[in-house]
Amino acid sequence: MYTVLPDSVQVRQSEVNGRGICTKLPVRAGSVIFVTKPYAAALSTPSLSSHCSSCFALSSTSLLRRCTKCRIAHYCDFTCQTQDWAIHKLECTSLQNWFKAAPSSDIAPPSDAVRCLSRVLWRIQKRGADTIQVKKVEISLPDRQSLKPSAYETHTYLSHSLVQYMGLSSPADMAQYSLSSAADLLDTVSRFVTNTFTVTDPTLVPLGAAVSPVVALINHSCDPNAVVVFPRVSPDPKSQEPLMHVVAIRDIYPEEELCSCSILTAYIDATLPTNLRQQSLNEIYNFKCMCHLCTMVEVDPRTCLNCPKNCGGLCPLPSDDHPLVRCAKCNTVVHLVDAALDARRVGQEGLDKASSLQTKDPERSLRLTTNLIPILTSAGFPPSSHPLLGLTRLHQQLLTASFPNPLTQEHLDETIRTATKNVTGLVALLREGHPVLALALTELGKLLAVDEPSPRLADAQNPKVSPKEATPASLATYPPSGLPRLQLAYQTLLRARKMLLVGFGVVNEGGQVGKEVREMIVALEKEIGVFKQGVRNVLEDTRKA
């Protein structure tokens, strides 16, 4: 039944996890377990004019062909447009009607969720509701009755938008899509929501929504052994992209008894603390995760404070069972816990606010992150803790987006320090080879390799200090300048490449980013060589003089 699955894996029913995908053969970290094309996919509204609606490739708007009828869909070329036409033909009419019925001319098209769901329905209509693909969607359904009230509301809203967009005003209209009633539509919407994935570009930037019933068969763990990525490595860009690659990020062995052969991906952001992960899983997927992270008794680096004596240990935040906060390593009691909890609350509110302002008012967003990060740091939170990690990540994005022209040393160095804190936080939470960690390292390495606007001469003249031998005094002047900086960039990118090969697949050469990083490493090798030769020449000249 699951035709796209290779022979090495099977769909299995286990008592612990329910239905899931298991491997029959040992899988190495970095192996692509399987590749599949989504059943349907739609670009998010902001990506509609910068990406191809068929293969999701990025292009400049002037190079893309715009659909002359709806003026919404864009394509790389005639081939992509032709490939998408069977479905877009129907979509195009709906889009035109949507704009005709709009109260004002500047109304946005429906959301990617609505457009993706409508594409599912048009495919069902074209193929007939009893095809294998549709059955696959149906079998992974949580039924409507068991939905949380909050989810019910979202799904009802989505159904309404869909009715309006597709013009499903009568039972006869619905019948075209094998829907018997409004309740039936709501069921379809619910199934859709739990089978939806975010399509990302090769740097994990969200591009839109996709539905894949096969990939949705994979069970969840907050500490996954596999990831779903879109590395875009097809030799022919107009082939089947966007393609979903399920990649193992650690070795998986077939062991019948324990069902440790299960392939597991994280449905939600695994860097969030347990209560927030559980909340999302409960609201969207309606289950309680029992993975080892959700049930662990050790200190969670997501919810803890640094040891007040700086012993290197972590102190779990207070709970009803353990109101007293102590260092897990040296047992020192932490005072001022209330102040830390207040700072955490302020940080959480600030993160929500700053995230909502990121595109609308980036300057205000940046002021918020700039003010909040020191508050949480001085309250004793480590870089891996929530919401400090989220604030750091956002701060880095905002700093990168606001590079002044010409770039200043101060702005660049602040961005590098922020990127370093982000990597430090992620290293404590994610496995070696997780694509999120791999990309954070890549960004740090790239920042370190940026030409310094005004390098510190002292560092440049003293090229012997390597990052490994860095003394506390030189850490105060982090990031280093001159040759040590280039060497640090080089080491960081080497480590990033190793992880990209795992996170985006060895056969994919680490995806588009992996290939790009390999070229950067080669260029840096040359640059470091030239730099060393330059210093040697200067020394020779001084000696001669």
Residues at the contact surface with Zn ion, assessed by CB under 5 A: 52, 54-55, 57, 67, 69-70, 73, 76, 80, 92, 222, 289, 291, 293-294, 307, 311, 313, 327, 329-330, 332
Q: Which is nearer to Zn ion, 17 or 462 (CB)?
A: 17
Q: Which of residues 55 and 441 has its CB atom nearest to Zn ion in the complex?
A: 55
**Alpha carbon of 22 to those of 52, 137, 180, 226, 263: distances in Å?**
34, 19, 35, 12, 6
Determine the Cα–Cα distance for residues 361 and 353; give it in Å rounded to an integer.
11
Q: How many residues are given for the chain?
A: 545
Nearer to Zn ion, 249 or 291 (CB): 291
Instruction: Give the pair of three-digit tokens for residue 61.
Output: 């708007």
Strand partners, 12: 20
CA distance linking residue 166 with residue 114, whole number of Å: 9
State the minimum distance, in angstroms, from the CB of residue 66 to Zn ion.
Answer: 8
> Smallest gap, in angstroms, from Cβ of residue 54 to Zn ion?
5
Query: What's the min distance (Å) between Cβ of 257 and Zn ion?
Result: 22
If you search the block for the tokens 């309680």, which residue do you land on? 288
> For Zn ion, which is the closer residue by CB, 55 or 438?
55
Q: Are 73 and 66 in contact (CB under 8 A)?
A: yes
Give the integer Cα–Cα distance in Å for 301 and 383. Answer: 9
Q: What's the closest the beta carbon of residue 96 comes to Zn ion, in angstroms?
A: 8
The phi, psi pair for 183, rounded to 5°, reads -65, -35
Residue 283 Cβ vs Zn ion, minimum distance, rounded to whole Å: 15
Rounded CA-CA distance 441/435 in Å is: 10
Contact 179, 133 (CB under 8 A): no
Cβ 329 to Zn ion, closest distance in Å? 5
Q: 3-state class of 206 per DSSP?
A: strand
Residue with tokens 């077939």: 254
Question: 197 has which bridge partners?
Answer: 210
CB of 421 vs Zn ion, minimal distance in Å: 21
Is the Cβ of residue 333 or residue 401 nearer to Zn ion in the bound state?
A: 333
Q: Minimal distance in Å, beta carbon 141 to Zn ion?
A: 22
Question: Smallest distance, Å, CB 175 to Zn ion?
Answer: 26
Quick one: 24 or 71, whose CB is closer to Zn ion?
A: 71
| CB-nearer residue toward Zn ion: 62 or 145 | 62
CB atoms within 10 A of CB 181: 11
Scanning the structure block, which residue is given the tokens 């770039």?
Answer: 407
Q: Which is nearer to Zn ion, 31 or 81 (CB)?
A: 81
Provide the minimum distance between the beta carbon of 231 and Zn ion in the complex, in angstroms, as a whole number.
16
Tokens of 130: 């009893």
Nearer CB in complex with Zn ion: 88/155 = 88
Written as six digits, the tokens of 110 are 């429906």
* Residue whose CB is less far from Zn ion, 232 or 497: 232
DSSP assignment of 437-498: HHHHHHHHHHHHHSPPSS--HHHHH-TT--GGG--HHHHHTPSP-SHHHHHHHHHHHHHHHH
Rounded to an integer, what distance in angstroms lies between the CA atom of residue 387 and that of residue 384?
Answer: 9
